Amino acid sequence: MRGVTVVWNNNRIEERGLSDRSSLTDWGVFTTVGCDHARPLLWSRHSRRLLSSLVYLGVTGDPGLPTESDLCELLTAAGLDGPARLRVVARRTAPSQWAVTASATPCDAVGSKAQPSRLKIERWPAAPPLAGHKTLARMAWDLAREQAQGEGFDDVLLIDSSDGLLETSIANIWIVTGNVARTPPAPERCLPGVMRDWLLENLDRVDLTAKADELSLGDLVDADEIWLSNAVIGVRRVGRVDDRQRRDGPRFSRLSSLGIPAPGW
């Protein structure tokens, strides 16, 4: 129904107006989960990262995160048996009180055939203090992305004052040179993305060495291929950075045999 969404809230499935909010505060964290066939993908990894962030924010005891079964029930209730995304939010409603909700929406199946992304470089003074946590206070990231989109790009590639690569507003960055795929270290430089961590553990299955490493603009220029990763897109090629076009490479095509746990893969 227009104006209504189905959410999981405190162990119940309920309908809620799209403008409803459990609180006005942005003190909290969230995660975005790729889904397909009415199942959340990599939920155990998402929940571990979410719980780690909550502990950092001072939560003690069980915060009441949904189970995988809860999320399957939510996807079924919302009629989403194809590509979808879940947003699971833990929001502080009082100094010692937290509310956890989950909502689901359809998404495009991205997969390996997605058009290459176009990135605009933006310099920040440094990585944000909470770079290792996916916080609800996203204005800086969202504004940077919207400004880049206004200039014909898809997203913004963030670098620090020393030309170190950080991340985009919604994805981790990968630099592929030869058979080595590198991504900035987390949480020092970027969010420890769920798909990023999965790739670090699994790229060796397609004869690629994956590692976290400090990366700079020079590495970007010298790269054979540039990728983005997150839990919804899986992995996406980068076809342009600022005014420089990037060529396709053969290593990205290996990923189709990897069974990437993201919609459309």
Task: Give the span between the Cα atoms of 87 and 102, in whole angstroms.
Answer: 5
In a domain, 231, yes or no: yes
Flag whether pLDDT at 28 surpasses 90.
yes
Does 216 lie in the same domain as 133? yes
Report, as an integer, the average pLDDT of 6-18.
79
Q: Which of 217, 230, 243, 16 is nearest to 114 (CA)?
A: 230
In a domain, 173, yes or no: yes
Does 81 lie in the same domain as 55? yes
**Of 79, 106, 133, which closes a domain?**
106
Task: Give the span between the Cα atoms of 163 and 169, in whole angstroms.
Answer: 17
In which residue are the tokens 């590509």 written?
A: 83
In a domain, 166, yes or no: yes
Does 202 lie in the same domain as 129? yes
Domain count, the chain: 2
**Of 72, 106, 140, which closes a domain?**
106
Give one DSSP letter per residue of 98-146, joined into a string: EEEEEEEEE-----TTSPPEEEEEEE-SS--TTTTS-BS--HHHHHHHH
Burial 189-218 (b: 16+ CB within 10 A, else e): bbbbbbbbbbbbebbeebebebebeebbbe
In a domain, 217, yes or no: yes
Question: Can you give the CATH number for the domain in which 219 is found?
Answer: 3.20.10.10
Does 130 lie in the same domain as 247? yes
pTM: 0.91
Cβ partners under 8 Å of residue 42, min gap 6: 33, 34, 194, 195, 198, 231, 261
Q: Which of 218, 213, 207 is nearest to 172 (CA)?
A: 213
226-247 pLDDT per residue, tens? 999 999 999 999 999 999 998 8
Does 182 lie in the same domain as 161? yes
Q: Which of 39, 100, 104 is nearest to 78 (CA)?
A: 104
In a domain, 40, yes or no: yes
Question: Can you give the CATH number for the domain in which 78 is found?
Answer: 3.30.470.10
Q: Which of 246, 260, 258 is nearest to 115 (CA)?
A: 246
Q: Are 228 and 166 in contact (CB under 8 A)?
A: no
> Residue 69 is encoded by which pair of tokens?
């079964």
Does 141 lie in the same domain as 94? no
141-159 pLDDT per residue, tens? 999 999 999 999 999 999 9
Does 67 lie in the same domain as 164? no
Percent of the chain with pLDDT over 70: 95
Q: How would residue 25 be classed by pLDDT, with cut points 50, 70 and 90?
A: low
Q: How would residue 20 be classed by pLDDT, with cut points 50, 70 and 90?
A: low
Task: Give the span between the Cα atoms of 155 and 167, in whole angstroms.
Answer: 10
**Of 106, 133, 161, which closes a domain?**
106
Flag whether pLDDT at 21 surpasses 60.
no
The one-letter amino acid code at 15 reads E
Top-confidence residue, 93 or 76:
76
Report, as an integer, the average pLDDT of 252-264.
95
Does 244 lie in the same domain as 131? yes
At 101 the pLDDT is: 96
At 249 the pLDDT is: 86
Q: Which of 63, 67, 32 is nearest to 46 (CA)?
A: 32
In a domain, 262, yes or no: no
Domain of residue 190 covers 117-257
At 167 the pLDDT is: 98
Task: Give the span between the Cα atoms of 168 and 134, in whole angstroms.
Answer: 13
Does 125 lie in the same domain as 98? no
Does 217 lie in the same domain as 135? yes
Does 144 lie in the same domain as 63? no
Q: How would residue 103 be classed by pLDDT, with cut points 50, 70 and 90?
A: very high
> Residue 119 is encoded by which pair of tokens?
């990135």
Q: Are 16 and 4 in contact (CB under 8 A)?
A: yes
